[in-house]
């Protein structure tokens, strides 16, 4: 009996040694090291052997360097059973399109838990700001600053409004179809930014689908950090239309049949018709959205913000600085930035890297050389761009030190007026954008006019700090809530402007008169604003272009009445910290406008006013100067 037990013992030992030898022999010892500090959770992935996936999916190509199955295997992303070559069993529990937020914890989040936590709190995932403003306008909340999550929408009038018109654009929307990211793409979690199809992978996919999924693709799409503007376009061509503005296109109400063969028009994949107005200088130079908006902004920082301008930390002055930029050493880069630096294969480890003033996050595609010259490496093709400091007038100008760069450097912005929202309870083919299914009954939006102009100006006020920023008519609209609730007289009218950075930046700036004598810029709407002098008395007179709206007696496109105080109980902004000009501020602006009637903006006296202000000059007026009289 003892001899028998001894033989069994030796047999087990020999068997285990043999298995160990086979494992070592077939193991790819390459792995992704855990190289980051203890404050960050990253997982070391080892490919413990040849997965059964590769028995069928042989010689596949197209992977990014850091997502190659030779390094991390297939199951790290797709899950499934890697220990059997039986097709049905091996595909058990497999995720064909990994990266949706519904499965990100088991897929992408296994290696990138910190990024996932940030994304889950980002406004692109929660849509909190959009929901908050909509509920505020519908009267379902007393502030536009509460926090929400789009997945929690129910069936209130506002919730239904969002489901029908707005809930398409959020990262939680699942990507369920194979294929590249296009202008029509919405959501998809990590795929929304990181999925890239090569031409070969697109051809292979088409052949695979045409063969009833029997011809297995040889080329796999890549998951990487090489985003294009198309990745942003699907969602950011809606609402404030940043993507289309950036490329120079303004939406119209035309039908595609009306512009066939016409120059200066473009029809998008969703059949919206756009007309060319002029692109952003950064787009003209070949820069991408992500050249400025890095992963720290796009994925967020883990904090739940109320509105997008709070989440965006980058300022023009970070790259176009006054004297010298804020920088850090390569050795001071955070873990996320190091990953991007590594994946981009940058080499400027011996140079200073620019960091954003507001939160200190680095722009890893920038550096400052030993002579103090700053450069940006274009993420599209590696083009090296000189980063020019602010012009002398910007850096010395005291009169406009509280004016945002985009206020002067934006060439145009989108405008829409006459919007009417009504619920059609009989609509049989209504589509719920959140649940992705057809339902009965739908909110419908009717727009009177799309146009463009120089942006209006508004005041961002936080405590003692104020900043003049561009503003657009975000909601000049009526909402027929009674069509939803059954109360026929429940109709509300709203005239709200929204803060907006149009992304139509030009090197040239708008002239002084376009702010100080322009009715739309001051908030009165389009029209004729004239300074008249009669019998030695100066007076500003405004004649609006549009008819007066019977709901509030203001011109259709106006924000505020001409030179009249706004009732404090009237809600006129989508933000609690953003407002139109007060009458006193209007008077200050129009006072300069009166001076500009005689003095050219490049005259010595006007240049002096930029540095020392207008007050010293008013003390030494010429007898011919006639200042406005205010009623």
pLDDT per residue as tens digits for the range 542-569 = 999 999 999 999 999 999 999 999 888 8
Q: Say whether pLDDT at 307 is over 80.
A: yes
Task: Give the Cα separation of 248 and 83 in Å (integer).
Answer: 53
Query: Would you say residue 420 lies in a domain?
Result: yes
* pLDDT at residue 25 tops 50: no
Q: Please give the average per-residue pLDDT across 340-351, as a whole number.
A: 96
Q: Final residue of a domain: which of 113, 136, 155?
A: 113
Q: Are residues 412 and 342 in the same domain?
A: no
* 592 located within any domain: yes
Question: Percentage of the chain surpassing pLDDT 70?
Answer: 92
- Residue 48 belongs to what domain range? 21-113
Is 54 within a domain? yes
Domain boundary among 372, 388, 404: 388
Residues 402 and 364 reside in one and the same domain: no
> Residues 535, 537, 538, CA angle at the centre, nearest 5°?
130
Going by pLDDT thresholds of 50, 70 and 90, the confidence category of residue 39 is very low
Chain-centroid distance, C-alpha 85: 44
Q: DSSP assignment of 157-197, as one string?
A: HHHHHHHHHTTT-STTS---S-S---TT----TTHHHHEE-
DSSP 108: H
Cβ neighbour number for residue 587 with a 10 Å cutoff: 14
pLDDT of the residue at 471:
96
- Together in a domain, 447 and 335: no
507 domain-assigned: yes
Predicted confidence band at 614 (pLDDT cuts at 50, 70, 90)? confident
pLDDT band at 38 (very low <50, low <70, confident <90, very high): very low
- Give the pLDDT confidence score for residue 19 in this predicted structure: 41
Tell me the C-alpha distance between 62 and 195, whole Å: 12
Please identify which residue in the block is written with the tokens 């909110």.
443
Query: What does the pLDDT read at residue 49?
Result: 60
Q: What is the mean pLDDT of residues 367-372?
A: 95
Region 401-420 average pLDDT: 93
- Kind of pairing, strands 265-267 and 249-251? unpaired
Q: Is residue 514 in a domain?
A: yes
Exposed/middle/buried for residue 56 (C-beta within 10 Å: 0-12, 13-18, 19+): exposed
Can you tell me whether residue 151 is helix, strand or coil? helix
Comparison of pLDDT for 496 and 27, the residue scoring more? 496
Instruction: Note whether 475 and 600 are same-domain residues.
Output: yes
User: Residue 35: what pLDDT?
Assistant: 35
* Domain final position from 61, 79, 113: 113
- In this structure, the answer to whether residues 301 and 376 fall within a common structural domain is yes
Same structural domain for residues 510 and 613?
Answer: yes
| Percentage above 90 pLDDT, the chain | 80
Residue 58: the pLDDT is 86
Kindly indicate the confidence band of residue 15, based on its pLDDT and cuts at 50, 70 and 90: very low
- Read off the pLDDT of residues 449-473 as tens digits, 9 standing for 90 and up: 999 999 999 999 988 889 999 999 9
Q: How confident is the model over 73-127, as pLDDT tens digits?
A: 999 999 999 999 999 999 999 999 999 999 999 999 999 999 999 999 999 999 9
Considering only CA atoms, which of 587, 554, 588 is closest in space to residue 570? 554
Largest interatomic CA distance in the chain:
129
d(CA 221, CA 180): 8
**Total structural domains within the chain:** 3
Do 364 and 415 sit in the same domain of this protein? Answer: no
Average pLDDT over residues 379-397: 87
Per-residue tokens: 48: 């413990």
User: Same domain, yes or no, for 473 and 594?
Assistant: yes
From residue 190, alpha-carbon distances to 86, 223, 228 in Å are 30, 9, 14
CB atoms within 10 A of CB 599: 17
pLDDT at 266: 95
Q: How far apart are CA 224 and CA 519, in angstroms?
A: 48
- Residue 220 in domain: no
- 617 CB contacts (<8 Å, ≥6 apart)? 605, 608, 609
pLDDT-based confidence at residue 396 (cuts at 50, 70, 90): low
8 A C-beta contact, residue 495 and residue 552: yes
Q: Which helix (H) or strand (E) holds 152?
A: none
Q: What integer is the mean pLDDT of 512-537?
A: 95
Q: Please check whether residue 266 lies inside any domain of the structure.
A: no
Q: Are 459 and 468 in contact (CB under 8 A)?
A: yes
Mean pLDDT estimate for the chain: 90
Co-location of 308 and 430 in the same domain: no
Claim to verify: residue 98 and residue 32 sit in the same structural domain: yes
- As a whole number of angstroms, the distance between CA 517 and CA 363 comes to 39
Among residues 102, 101, 280, which one has the least CA distance to residue 194?
A: 101
Q: Please report the pLDDT score of residue 7 as a whole number.
A: 42
Q: Are 191 and 97 in contact (CB under 8 A)?
A: yes
pLDDT of residue 622: 86
Contacts 24+ apart (CB under 8 A), 45-53: 45/71, 45/72, 45/73, 45/76, 45/111, 47/71, 47/72, 47/73, 48/23, 48/73, 49/23, 50/26, 51/75, 51/82, 52/81, 52/82, 52/83, 52/84, 52/85, 52/90, 53/78, 53/80, 53/82, 53/90
Residue 397 has what pLDDT? 74
356 and 452 housed in the same domain: no
Is the pLDDT score of 46 beyond 70?
Answer: no
Q: Is 109 exposed, middle or buried (0-12, 13-18, 19+ CB in 10 A)?
A: buried
Examine the pLDDT at 41 and tell me if it is beyond 70.
no
Asked, for residue 166, whether it belongs to a domain, the answer is no
Distance between CA 609 and CA 512 in Å, rounded? 12
Give per-residue pLDDT as tens, 565-607: 988 888 999 999 999 999 999 999 999 999 999 999 999 999 8
The rounded distance, in Å, linking the Cα atoms of 459 and 583 is 13
Taking 50 as the threshold, does the pLDDT of residue 44 lie above it? Answer: no
Contact 136, 144 (CB under 8 A): yes
> What is the reported pLDDT for 278?
96
Query: Which two structure tokens, joined as six digits, stand for 124?
Result: 């692109």
- Residues 384, 429, single domain; the answer is no
pLDDT digits (tens, 9 = 90+) for 475-496: 899 999 999 999 888 999 999 9
pLDDT of res. 395: 67
């Amino acid at each position: 009996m003892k001899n028998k037990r001894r033989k069994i013992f030796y047999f087990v030992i020999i068997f285990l040694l043999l298995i160990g030898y086979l494992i070592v022999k077939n193991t790819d010892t390459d792995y992704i090291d855990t190289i980051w500090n203890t404050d960050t959770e990253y997982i070391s992935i080892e490919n413990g052997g040849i997965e059964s996936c590769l028995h069928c999916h042989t010689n596949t190509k197209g992977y990014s360097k850091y997502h190659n199955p030779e390094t991390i295997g297939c199951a790290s992303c797709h899950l499934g059973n890697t220990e059997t070559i039986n097709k049905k069993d091996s595909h058990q529990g497999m995720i064909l399109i990994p990266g949706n937020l519904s499965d990100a914890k088991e897929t992408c989040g296994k290696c990138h838990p910190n990024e996932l936590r940030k994304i889950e709190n980002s406004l692109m995932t929660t849509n909190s700001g959009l929901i908050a403003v909509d509920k505020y306008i519908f009267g379902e909340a007393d502030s536009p600053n509460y926090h929400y999550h789009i997945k929690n929408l129910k069936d209130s009038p506002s919730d239904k409004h969002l489901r029908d018109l707005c809930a398409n654009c959020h990262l939680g929307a699942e990507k369920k179809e194979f294929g590249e990211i296009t202008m029509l793409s919405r959501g998809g979690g990590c795929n929304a930014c990181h999925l890239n199809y090569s031409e070969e992978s697109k051809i292979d996919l088409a052949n695979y689908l045409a063969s009833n999924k029997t011809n297995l693709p040889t080329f796999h799409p890549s998951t990487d950090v090489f985003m294009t503007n198309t990745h942003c376009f699907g969602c950011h061509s809606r609402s404030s239309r940043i993507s289309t503005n950036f490329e120079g296109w303004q939406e119209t109400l035309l039908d595609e049949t009306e512009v066939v063969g016409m120059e200066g028009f473009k029809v998008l994949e969703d059949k919206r018709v756009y007309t060319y107005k002029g692109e952003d200088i950064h787009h003209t130079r070949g820069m991408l959205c992500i050249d400025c908006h890095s992963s720290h902004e796009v994925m967020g920082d883990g904090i739940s913000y109320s509105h997008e301008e709070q989440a965006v930390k980058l300022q023009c002055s970070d790259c176009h600085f006054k004297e010298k930029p804020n920088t850090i050493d390569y050795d001071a880069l955070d873990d996320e930035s190091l990953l991007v630096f590594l994946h981009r294969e940058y080499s400027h480890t011996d140079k200073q890297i620019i960091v954003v003033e507001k939160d200190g996050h680095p722009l890893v595609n920038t550096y400052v050389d030993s002579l103090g010259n700053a450069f940006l490496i274009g993420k599209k093709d590696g083009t090296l761009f000189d980063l020019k400091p602010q012009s002398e007038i910007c850096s010395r100008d005291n009169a406009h030190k509280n004016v945002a760069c985009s206020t002067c450097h934006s060439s145009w912005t989108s405008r829409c007026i006459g919007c009417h929202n009504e619920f059609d309870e009989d609509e049989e083919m209504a589509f719920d954008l959140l649940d992705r299914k057809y339902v009965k009954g739908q909110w419908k939006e009717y727009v009177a006019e799309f146009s463009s102009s120089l942006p209006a100006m508004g005041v961002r006020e936080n405590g003692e700090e104020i900043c003049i920023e561009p503003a657009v008519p975000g909601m000049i609209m009526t909402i027929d809530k009674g069509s939803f609730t059954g109360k026929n007289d429940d109709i509300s009218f709203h005239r709200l402007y929204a803060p907006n950075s149009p992304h139509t930046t030009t090197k040239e700036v708008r002239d002084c008169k376009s702010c100080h004598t322009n009715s739309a810029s001051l908030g009165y709407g389009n029209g004729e604003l004239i300074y008249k002098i009669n019998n030695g008395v100066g007076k500003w007179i405004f004649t609006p272009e549009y008819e007066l709206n019977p709901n509030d007696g203001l011109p259709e496109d106006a924000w505020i009445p001409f030179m009249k105080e706004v009732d404090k109980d009237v809600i006129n902004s989508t933000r609690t910290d953003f407002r139109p000009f007060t009458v006193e501020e209007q008077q200050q602006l129009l006072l300069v406008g009166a001076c500009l009637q005689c003095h050219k903006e490049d005259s010595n006296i006007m240049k002096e006013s930029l540095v020392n202000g207008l007050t010293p000059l008013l003390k030494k007026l010429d007898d011919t100067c006639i200042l406005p009289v205010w009623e």
